[in-house]
Structure 1
């Protein structure tokens, strides 16, 4: 995939530390940083599937994981899931 791709980041609600189930972007910060560093345009889209994160490129889901498996905050450099997602976007057709 060429750089500067349009990536739709779809994310569902989750419960954090006993709080109510809501859409939150705290755990997406590292993923957003890694994708932005590669020059991709990211579109955030809330979905209703609990705990789910999906990356969609050219209408194809190229990566998905549980949102609670992503590290909280940070730049994503040390999160192996962020690197896996980055590679999946780069390998997308």
Structure 2
């Protein structure tokens, strides 16, 4: 695996406080932990509600519900972030 993968983080809108919108606050831990492992990332909005998908070299390597990610933080204690990094590492 190259030390630095380019990961596209595709995310959909989700409902919070009665408003459906695209929000990135639940992606902060995922972004931080990807950077800590030497990866670069870009964000891309898509239409699937409540979904997060990681794309490496044009291939979907991980999917989860955005509401399952911890709000804010550095991702170190979030088991889903750990699974996502493992999926990126095994993509090669």
The TM-score normalised by the length of structure 2 is 0.97
Q: Which residue of 1 is the match for residue 2 of structure 2?
A: 2
Q: Which residue of 2 is the match for residue 43 of structure 1?
A: 42
Structure 2: unaligned runs, 5 residues or longer:
none
Q: Which residue of 2 is the match for residue 53 of structure 1?
A: 52
Question: Runs ≥4 in structure 1, deviation > 4 angstroms?
Answer: none
RMSD, matched Cα: 0.7
**Structure 2: distance between partners of 1:26 and 1:17:** 14
The TM-score normalised by the length of structure 1 is 0.96
**Structure 2: distance between partners of 1:44 and 1:31:** 11
**Structure 2: distance between partners of 1:38 and 1:12:** 24
**Structure 2: distance between partners of 1:66 and 1:25:** 13
**Structure 2: distance between partners of 1:17 and 1:72:** 14
Q: Which residue of 2 is the match for residue 16 of structure 1?
A: 16
Structure 1: unaligned runs, 5 residues or longer:
none
